[in-house]
Chain A
């Protein structure tokens, strides 16, 4: 871990060096509001096709920040807990000749308290049920390194540009109360792309390949006391297990592979930009136990179709942006019937569960440009989510539909050379339908009553959210500004006796 730390620190320093040298080339102060506007202005940067950044370049920017965040209160999923996070984040975009490069690095340290029902999983996913759970309340410690980049070539023959997006992350963590674990996860994603540009039109094609792995080692600090655990299989169904003793569960590990691709069409006029894209991905995750004698614990087959459209109308003084996006994700949970000979042999494999999710979102942002990026902005966002999950045999189902809406506004005052960016936001979630029916053998188990039922209540609770924030930025000379940002959100469900408070304090630089 120390070696990794050094490596990431060096990468961060190098990224900062590149950023500072690029910063020296420009003029004017890069206030945080300008960086926000820069990211909003580039349609292709916000797509799966990096090659398009040549046609629709992201303006040069750089930032570096240190953040502290907290989450308190019981209106949350139980495995999430009450969190304290430390973040170091840096990103930047610059031109390389007529091509473009963007990169980002994030280090995150998470301390969570009062988590429950997650024995060994760093990142729970709503369509990956094959995880281990227990009922003990426990802290978790995690840290994650996440690096991303996008690069695009110049237009070759004034016709075609090539691009690549990549992401690599590693994460490690440990649960702190028996049954506990030590975990390691990595993921690597590569998205090669090409964009053909003719006239004001651009057609893009991108592919995606993702590979990931997780290793989870269960252990008890008190070796005299075995701990009850549950190997989950979906919607409250589980297999009894223990952590500890000779018969305790072994090391869990997961393999992930994803393939996909998407098509883009873009139009760039003088004041109007349009980018539409649609794509498909196919992902398989296999869960195993005991690497030396692999036993299949389940697999998921996930298929996803997605689409996104961005329309940007921009003048010297304003930017209007409409974003429509959505996806349909369907995941099949496969369970295996195995018997042990010299190795575990599969004698049956069946689709036992389905996880179906529709997500549609519509957003609108308006920016009134100004000296420090923008004078003010306002936006609205609406989203619809529909979950239809079922366990086939014995039959169980969980369905819910949520509608969420959010309004937000920011005002930027330039007082002398100090930018004061204040924001307010309000959001609501309305549940349109909620149904959880467990038909398995253990309706009164802690897994059903305490875990699935209560997290279902969270997921389907109508609630409102109010938030505010302020970001004060001081110029430090050249393009560099130092900023200090404080944000807070308060969440309150309509029919549950709980609440949630979220807050972040960030100190950073833009340059």
Chain B
């Protein structure tokens, strides 16, 4: 018995020594300074340059958000950083010739542990005409998720036609610590998004006009969900579009709502389009090619399938993650969405919706800085066409 006690104490002692060894050399934290240089190497010379850029260092673990303005040469030194993992964003906007150009650039998950210098190349884009206005993805109490919907809004001054518009979700379907290194033919995986599901609005090109200030609703199922599940906050029976797959008692087809076409289904949906209640990364785009389900790409070392689409054809995108702890697991390229948003919990009836930036001629203009951390807010309850969004004349909701 004595032997065992001595042996046990000896083992605990050795383990204890290992524990002490692992903390050897630890020192007190010191504030760090990082120099930033903003470049615009990929922006055409004809596009106007801003006087300065806003640089933000966002550390989600530390809840640290430090902003600084660059000088005219695009340089700034940012002090008082805590060692850690940062998303560094650069933004600026310039108005010229009736257009607003947005500059954005990002370094994601940049680990800063010492004084250092970083260079960020900013890209320029015009404000998107169609934007996600509200996304209700996390379902209602009682594990009810058939009431998911996506509201897409015309944030421009011109009529937009949504014929052929696609909505898709990036892989992986839920934010994950697994890092996918996609293999593409041209060797430039950074130029694409990788979609596991794509639905397309049918139409000839002029069937579904959406005027400025109007929106369309894409429903998983175009039903009055309040009657089906009393915890559901929404009536989607007048949704313009639904992601209908197969007619079932529990998933009936609503003849008033236009059925979208499932173009890519690597996620294997079966009878319904359930996008993750934990939050997908969504994009809308007009495809630059015909759909071909016989080919796909895969990440190195994984069997996951996806279809690659060029970032250039993406109109808008929103990164949704489970909660604040998952923001570092972004899937969306930062040129589409430099941030992420979330409701924080599943089956709460809450949604995320875009913040109003200003009003013009009686219609709302929504924030679209390509950073959903800034552009979106969490609602207490999902609402179809909140804040008075217009209904297209051809919509069942207009009848």
User: In the complex, are the beta carbons of B27 and A350 less than 8 A apart?
Assistant: yes
User: In the complex, are the beta carbons of A299 and B23 less than 8 A apart?
Assistant: yes
**Closest residue of B by beta carbon distance from A241:** B325
User: In the complex, are the beta carbons of A339 and B326 less than 8 A apart?
Assistant: no
Partner of B82 from A226, A257, A394 at Cβ < 8 Å = A394
With known contacts A242-B323, A247-B323, A337–B27 Cβ distance under 8 A: no
User: In the complex, are the beta carbons of A247 and B177 less than 8 A apart?
Assistant: no
Q: Would you give the 0/1 interface string for A240-259, flagging 1 where the beta carbon is closer than 8 Å to chain B?
A: 11101111000000010101
User: In the complex, are the beta carbons of B16 and A259 less than 8 A apart?
Assistant: yes
**Closest residue of A by beta carbon distance from B59:** A441
User: In the complex, are the beta carbons of B27 and A351 less than 8 A apart?
Assistant: yes
User: In the complex, are the beta carbons of A442 and B63 less than 8 A apart?
Assistant: yes
Partner of A284 from B13, B23, B63, B174 at Cβ < 8 Å = B23
Residues of B within 8 A of A337 (CB): 83-85, 111, 113
Extra 6 A-B pairs, beta carbons < 8 Å, given A226-B344, A247-B322, A247-B325:
A209-B16, A240-B324, A246-B174, A247-B326, A284-B20, A337-B113
Partner of A350 from B12, B26, B61, B326 at Cβ < 8 Å = B26
Partner of A209 from B12, B20, B22, B348 at Cβ < 8 Å = B12
A255 CA / B23 CA spacing, docked (Å):
13
User: In the complex, are the beta carbons of B141 and A224 less than 8 A apart?
Assistant: yes
A182 CA / B142 CA spacing, docked (Å):
25
Is the CB of B345 closer than 8 A to any CB of chain A?
yes
Is the CB of A239 closer than 8 A to any CB of chain B?
yes
User: In the complex, are the beta carbons of A245 and B346 less than 8 A apart?
Assistant: yes
Is the CB of B19 closer than 8 A to any CB of chain A?
yes
Which B302-325 residues have C-beta < 8 A from chain A?
Answer: 322-325
Residues of B within 8 A of A39 (CB): none
With known contacts A225-B345, A240-B325, A441-B62, A351–B31 Cβ distance under 8 A: no
User: In the complex, are the beta carbons of A255 and B26 less than 8 A apart?
Assistant: no
Min distance, Cβ B113 to any Cβ of chain A, angstroms: 5
Min distance, Cβ A81 to any Cβ of chain B, angstroms: 26
User: In the complex, are the beta carbons of B31 and A393 less than 8 A apart?
Assistant: yes
> Which applies to chain A's interface (DSSP): helix, strand, loop or mixed?
strand
A211 CA / B15 CA spacing, docked (Å):
10
User: In the complex, are the beta carbons of B345 and A226 less than 8 A apart?
Assistant: yes
User: In the complex, are the beta carbons of B23 and A334 less than 8 A apart?
Assistant: yes
Residue among A190, A225, A247 with most chain B CB within 10 A: A247
Is the CB of A348 closer than 8 A to any CB of chain B?
yes
User: In the complex, are the beta carbons of B325 and A239 less than 8 A apart?
Assistant: yes
User: In the complex, are the beta carbons of B85 and A224 less than 8 A apart?
Assistant: no
User: In the complex, are the beta carbons of B111 and A339 less than 8 A apart?
Assistant: yes
Is the CB of B29 closer than 8 A to any CB of chain A?
yes
A431 CA / B20 CA spacing, docked (Å):
37
With known contacts A224-B346, A339-B111, A440-B63, A349–B28 Cβ distance under 8 A: no
Is the CB of A365 closer than 8 A to any CB of chain B?
no
**Closest residue of B by beta carbon distance from A258:** B16
User: In the complex, are the beta carbons of A257 and B345 less than 8 A apart?
Assistant: no
User: In the complex, are the beta carbons of B113 and A348 less than 8 A apart?
Assistant: yes
Residues of A within 8 A of B13 (CB): 209
Residues of A within 8 A of B82 (CB): 393-394
User: In the complex, are the beta carbons of A246 and B20 less than 8 A apart?
Assistant: no
Residues of A within 8 A of B62 (CB): 394, 441
Is the CB of A340 closer than 8 A to any CB of chain B?
yes
Is the CB of B159 closer than 8 A to any CB of chain A?
no
**Closest residue of B by beta carbon distance from A286:** B19
Min distance, Cβ B268 to any Cβ of chain A, angstroms: 19
Which A254-307 residues have C-beta < 8 A from chain B?
Answer: 255, 257, 259, 284, 286, 299, 301
User: In the complex, are the beta carbons of B29 and A351 less than 8 A apart?
Assistant: yes
Is the CB of A1 closer than 8 A to any CB of chain B?
no
Residue among B28, B61, B348 with most chain A CB within 10 A: B28
Partner of A334 from B26, B111, B113, B323 at Cβ < 8 Å = B26
Residues of B within 8 A of A255 (CB): 15, 19
Could you list some 13 contacts between A and B, CB below 8 A? A225-B141, A225-B345, A225-B347, A239-B325, A240-B323, A242-B323, A257-B20, A259-B16, A337-B111, A337-B113, A347-B113, A394-B64, A441-B63
A332 CA / B62 CA spacing, docked (Å):
19
Residues of B within 8 A of A241 (CB): 323, 325
Partner of B26 from A224, A226, A351, A392 at Cβ < 8 Å = A351
Which A469-491 residues have C-beta < 8 A from chain B?
Answer: none
Residues of B within 8 A of A394 (CB): 62, 64, 82
Q: Residues of B at under 8 Å CB distance from A?
A: 9, 12-13, 15-16, 19-20, 22-23, 26-31, 61-65, 82-85, 111, 113, 141-143, 174-175, 177, 278, 322-326, 344-348
Residues of A within 8 A of B324 (CB): 240
Residues of B within 8 A of A387 (CB): none
**Closest residue of A by beta carbon distance from B342:** A247
Residues of B within 8 A of A239 (CB): 61, 325
User: In the complex, are the beta carbons of B323 and A349 less than 8 A apart?
Assistant: no
Closest 9 CB pairs of A and B: A257-B16, A441-B63, A226-B345, A247-B322, A350-B29, A240-B324, A351-B28, A211-B12, A348-B113
A284 CA / B22 CA spacing, docked (Å):
11
Min distance, Cβ B274 to any Cβ of chain A, angstroms: 15
Which A95-138 residues have C-beta < 8 A from chain B?
Answer: none
User: In the complex, are the beta carbons of B27 and A246 less than 8 A apart?
Assistant: no
Min distance, Cβ B206 to any Cβ of chain A, angstroms: 44
Min distance, Cβ A89 to any Cβ of chain B, angstroms: 26
Min distance, Cβ A458 to any Cβ of chain B, angstroms: 26
Partner of A228 from B12, B141, B278, B344 at Cβ < 8 Å = B344
A21 CA / B19 CA spacing, docked (Å):
46
Residues of B within 8 A of A440 (CB): 63
**Closest residue of A by beta carbon distance from B343:** A226
Is the CB of A72 closer than 8 A to any CB of chain B?
no
Is the CB of A352 closer than 8 A to any CB of chain B?
yes
User: In the complex, are the beta carbons of B325 and A246 less than 8 A apart?
Assistant: no
Min distance, Cβ A429 to any Cβ of chain B, angstroms: 33
**Closest residue of B by beta carbon distance from A285:** B19
User: In the complex, are the beta carbons of A246 and B278 less than 8 A apart?
Assistant: yes
**Closest residue of B by beta carbon distance from A222:** B141
Min distance, Cβ B398 to any Cβ of chain A, angstroms: 36
Residues of B within 8 A of A226 (CB): 323, 344-346
A227 CA / B143 CA spacing, docked (Å):
16
User: In the complex, are the beta carbons of A211 and B16 less than 8 A apart?
Assistant: yes
Residues of B within 8 A of A225 (CB): 141, 345, 347-348
Partner of B29 from A224, A228, A352 at Cβ < 8 Å = A352
A242 CA / B347 CA spacing, docked (Å):
14
Residues of A within 8 A of B84 (CB): 337, 348
With known contacts A211-B12, A224-B346, A349–B19 Cβ distance under 8 A: no
Min distance, Cβ A128 to any Cβ of chain B, angstroms: 15
Partner of B28 from A188, A247, A339, A350 at Cβ < 8 Å = A350
User: In the complex, are the beta carbons of B346 and A441 less than 8 A apart?
Assistant: no
A245 CA / B65 CA spacing, docked (Å):
27
Min distance, Cβ B280 to any Cβ of chain A, angstroms: 14
Partner of B322 from A246, A259, A335 at Cβ < 8 Å = A246
A394 CA / B81 CA spacing, docked (Å):
9
Partner of A441 from B20, B22, B64, B113 at Cβ < 8 Å = B64
User: In the complex, are the beta carbons of B29 and A393 less than 8 A apart?
Assistant: yes
Which A450-508 residues have C-beta < 8 A from chain B?
Answer: none
Residues of A within 8 A of B28 (CB): 350-351, 392
Min distance, Cβ B9 to any Cβ of chain A, angstroms: 6
Residues of A within 8 A of B175 (CB): 247
A188 CA / B31 CA spacing, docked (Å):
40
Which A322-373 residues have C-beta < 8 A from chain B?
Answer: 332, 334-335, 337, 339-340, 347-352
A332 CA / B23 CA spacing, docked (Å):
11
**Closest residue of B by beta carbon distance from A300:** B23
Residues of A within 8 A of B177 (CB): 340
User: In the complex, are the beta carbons of B31 and A224 less than 8 A apart?
Assistant: no
Residue among B13, B62, B278 with most chain A CB within 10 A: B62
User: In the complex, are the beta carbons of B344 and A224 less than 8 A apart?
Assistant: no
A35 CA / B257 CA spacing, docked (Å):
86
Partner of A190 from B9, B111, B326 at Cβ < 8 Å = B9
Residues of B within 8 A of A348 (CB): 83-84, 111, 113
